[in-house]
Structure 1
Amino acid sequence: MTVAGDFPPPHSGPACRVEWAHRVVAEPWLGAGPEAVAVDSAARRAYVACSRDNAVVAVDLDRWVPVWRAGVGREPIPVVLDLPRRRLFTADARSDTVTVLDADNADRVAQITVGQDAYPAGLGHDPARRRVFCGNTAAGTITAIDADRLEVIGVIPAEIGAGSIAVDEQRGRGYCANFMAGSLTVFDTETLRPLRRIAVGEGPCKTVANPTAGHLYVAGSLHSTVLRLSLATGRPLDDMRVERAPVGMCVSPDGGRLYVCNRGAGTVSALDAASGAETHRITVGHGPGDCHIDAATGRLLVSNAGSGTLTVVDRPWLPGPVRPQTHPAVGRRIPHFALPDARTGQERTTREWAEKKYVINFFASW
């Protein structure tokens, strides 16, 4: 007997206790602002981009301890692993670079400039055609890099807010999510020609392809939905509701399930790829940024930007207990601070609102 999902359950028997629920088995602390994670199941390593530490951390997948930490450019947001060359690529948003590391020993292989004031914030990978694509948010362009020679081989026009890039290797198509423009730029990964524009609504934050199901998914962080499109036609199929502010996603190895990181809720939504229905939610750390499946064990790895941790979930395809989310700051006295009034320039302090209820709005520039 098997369970529909991305990994079979353990065999049952007289001497074997089977747990029919997901379970958090580890949550190591990695550093400040872990935003993305890549996995090498064969080498038993995970690689996490810590955006606020300007570093990539390699984690042992069996012991759940850091193996090495390597400095990259400023504010690395995504990370991709090129297995043929065993190289890691990060897009360093505040350095306008793509840093290339040796995945085994953390040596810096190259640092490639992708523009000036470009704010590169997304990466796509076409291993068959030996290309890495970088979405430049401020420039509204996509930089194409040769994955072997580590050279820029072209720049593809996109739109403002260009970031996350999904690649359909079978059709040779790339899909770049343009956050501010509310669109996808579709391009040919061989010729580097832009092919079409697909309107997807406000705030597309992440896009991933599911070639098994023939779907493309676009996370709409502003409306807490995931748009499902056909890879064959590019036609939007439906909107799938998730929890607050989805920003990261991954597809199970068998294509049967989509996991969505809800940054505003500290959860991951598990969606059935066929029906689009949310089957359950998994409580993780604060501000989950992205996720990946370890194909060898079926475990889900979630990078938590707000907690500085990596949540490891066993049997993520199964429902389980919902852990209460309690932030460490809850119940503590607010620290004193002063800020200039945006209208008058007069300094305002927290003492003015002592013992009163008020709302502070922190706006993220990205």
Structure 2
Amino acid sequence: MGPVESAAAEDGAGGLDRVHRVLAQPRVGMGPEAVAVDVRRRRAFVACSRSDAVTAVDLVRMTPVWRAGVGREPIPIVFDAPTGRLFTADARSDIVSVLDAGTGEPLARIAVGAYPAGLGYHPRLRRIFSGDTAAATITVVDADRLAPIGVIPAGLGAGSIAIDRRRDRGYCANFMAASLTVFDPVTLRPLDRIPVGRGPCKVVADPVADRLYVANSLENTVLWLSLADGRVGGSFPVERAPVGLAVSRDGRHVYVCNRGAGTVSVLDVRAGAESHRIRVGYGPGDCVIDPATGRLLVSNAGSGTLTIVDRPWLPGPEAPAGHPAVGRLLPGFALPDLRTGRIRTTREWAEKKYVINFFASW
């Protein structure tokens, strides 16, 4: 049993530690998106969409140990503990790739619908569910036979999939249809369509709070629904373009990857509000909680890194106040070029990146 999060934690000296710590940010590849954890081997696996590969990271040394090629643009990843296999949906190859999690050896390539961008997993049923974005379908894969066994109609932009194992209900986020498709993972029948906010990117089921969380990337909100009756219970405002979600094991905190802000919002479920934010790398795509340590693992699509955060439920130090000139337009000025005598102005470099080196002597 992993550690249970609390509102405060004692440090080694017996004092109160109110600061989360970024322990490491190993480079994993280009465009890292989803993350999965093998608790027994102490490894994390990152789907690197722009490298067309999966990178394995040793969570003790916090360094990569292997990288394996898959299809084009892997986005989601699932770890199947009983078989020690990894599954990635490779969006631009229309396949699900299967790897040996210990070595990275390729095991199978399974054809699914057009542009698969999300995966769901039901370990008891031994089934993997692929959200096929362009096909508006969910392809169901037998996790042992490594073969498709059915297709479920969904909505346009079908992607992220969450499974309520208590009731055997599946939920697929339809990005362009602004809805959730509810389906039966046993009979493979669609059951309902639930409207949500614009651009639902990620859905996560929390069995502790009995809630389903939905990241609406185009509305900058996280919606929550009751798993018992499917009714919308409320929403949380977050920063720009939330695309990834993870829930703590005790159901107390929800972690939201704000792709447009380079932060993770930490939502306190009991308080019903955001408690603090954690600055990570550029373009955070998704995150997961390491069950063994409670640490937060965040993939940074724009930085090519994996941020490992210790005790993420604790607020960090306040960010220093920025200079009042930050964010304002650069005032125009003109100076002579020391080599030619020509007058140069800031208008010559409008909309361009440049470096100004100020030198003074006295």
Normalised TM-score (structure 2): 0.86
Secondary structure of the corresponding residue to residue 138 of structure 2: strand
Query: Does residue 20 of the first structure (1) align with residue 14 of the second (2)?
Result: no
What is the alpha-carbon distance in structure 2 between the residues aligned to residue 231 and residue 42 of structure 1?
Answer: 30
- Secondary structure of the residue aligned to 1:21 is coil
Amino acid paired to 2:56: A
- Equivalent positions of 1:66-81 (< 5 A) are 66-81=64-79
Q: Partner of 1:59 in structure 2?
A: 57
| Residue in 1 that maps onto 2:101 | 103
Give the alignment partner of residue 282 of structure 2, picking from 264, 271, 286: 286
Q: Is structure 2 residue 211 aligned with structure 1 residue 191?
A: no
Q: Which residue pairs with 1:271 in the alignment?
A: 267
Residue equivalent to 2:116: 120
C-alpha separation between the residues in 2 aligned to 1:67 and 1:17?
A: 36
Q: Name 1:248's counterpart in structure 2.
A: 244
Equivalent residue, structure 1, for 2:227: 231
**In structure 1, C-alpha distance between the alignment counterparts of 2:145 and 2:351, rounded to whole Å:** 58
Aligned to 1:153: 149
Contact 1:54 1:73 in 2 (8 A): yes
- Provide the C-alpha distance between the structure 2 equivalents of 1:22 and 1:281, rounded to a whole number of angstroms: 10
Shift of 1:163: 0.3
Which stretch shows the higher mean deviation, 39-48 or 185-194?
39-48
2:306 corresponds to: 310
Provide closer, same or farther for how the CA distance between residues 163 and 189 of structure 1 changes in structure 2, counting only shifts above 3 A. Answer: same
* Paired residues, number: 328
User: By how many angstroms is 1:357 displaced?
Assistant: 4.7
Looking at CA atoms only, which structure, 1 or 2, has the larger radius of gyration? Answer: 2
Contact 2:265–2:276 (8 Å) recurs in 1: yes
Distance 1:152 1:161 in 2: 20
CA distance in 2, matches of 1:72, 1:354: 46
Cα distance in 2 for partners of 1:272, 1:88 equals 32
Q: 1:355 aligns with which of 349, 355, 359?
A: 349
The one of 26, 29, 54 equivalent to 2:27 is 29
Aligned residue for 2:331?
none
The AA in structure 2 aligned to 1:55 is A
Alpha-carbon RMSD across the aligned residues, in angstroms, is 2.2
% identical equivalent positions: 66
- Secondary structure class of the residue paired with 1:186: strand
Q: State the AA in 2 paired with 1:9.
A: A
Using the alignment, how far apart are the partners of 2:305 and 2:116 within structure 1? 24
Cα distance in 1 for residues equivalent to 2:319 and 2:85: 36
Return the offset for 1:84: 1.0
Q: Does 1:178 align with 2:174?
A: yes
Q: Deviations over 1:93-117 (max 9, x none)?
A: 00000001111111111110013xx
The change in CA–CA distance for 1:356 and 1:247 in structure 2 (over 3 A counts) is same
1:362 matched residue in structure 2: none
Separation of aligned partners in 1, 2:236 and 2:8: 26
Contact kept, 8 Å, 2:251 with 2:269, in 1: the verdict is: yes
Cα distance change, pair 28–211 in 1 and its aligned pair in 2 (3 A): same
Note closer, same or farther for the CA distance 1:8–1:70 as it changes in structure 2 (3 Å cut).
Answer: farther
**Could you state the TM-score of these two structures normalised by the residue count of structure 1?**
0.85
Aligned to 1:9: 9
TM-superposed CA distance for 1:148, in Å, is: 0.8
Deviations along 1:158-213, one digit per CA (max 9) or x if unpaired, are: 01100000010111011000000000000001101000000002111110001100
| Paired position in structure 2 for 1:339 | none
1:152 positional shift: 0.4
Match of 1:226, SS state, is strand
Deviation, 1:7, is 9.0
Query: What is the DSSP-based 3-state SS (H/G/I as helix, E as strand, rest coil) of the residue aligned with 1:31?
Result: coil
